[in-house]
Amino acid sequence: MDTEGAIDDTALSLRFKYGVHTILLFVDPMQPFSEISTTLLAVVRERFPRGLTISHASPHSTPLPRSDVDVRIAFALPVNATDFSQGWKDLNVENDDNPLSKGVKDNAVLAFVIVPEDDNGEVEFVVDVPDLDDGYEEEEEE
């Protein structure tokens, strides 16, 4: 029986967000963030070769770094899991850290940002948070 691609019962379902994009990955809780970063970057490059859209309201996008450039991915958890507009708390992951060691739970939402490997400064997590009230106002005006 072919088990390649099978998802282990202990795998975490994690949603990674940048701008308007959400990428769902199943991750082993003990898998190092360095491996998660490699997988996430491969998915982003395959699915969004023109870059990542920042907002539905803006035509601007974030270009992806060339494949020959060394990068790292920074991850963050929401300050408030029910209100992403309150911001994100950087997990400050090291390569050997894993979701379990950082307290990441199943079905968690993590913001991510791709930064140069040698950039150790503070990073900004860009997540487009839709305002559901805007949709209701437009319907009421019609």
What are the domain boundaries of the chain?
A: 12-141
Residues whose CB is less than 8 angstroms from the CB of residue 97 and which lie 6 or more positions away in sequence, other chains included: 32, 33, 91
- What pTM did the predictor assign? 0.84
The predicted-structure confidence for 61-117, as pLDDT tens digits, reads as follows 899 998 888 999 999 999 999 999 999 999 999 989 999 999 999 999 999 999 988
Q: What is the pLDDT of residue 3?
A: 43
- Positive or negative, the CA dihedral 105, 111, 114, 116 is negative
Residue predicted with more confidence, 113 or 7: 113
Distance in angstroms (rounded) separating the CA atoms of residues 81 and 131: 16
Domain 12-141 has CATH 3.90.550.10: no
Handedness of CA 79, 85, 86, 92 (dihedral sign): positive
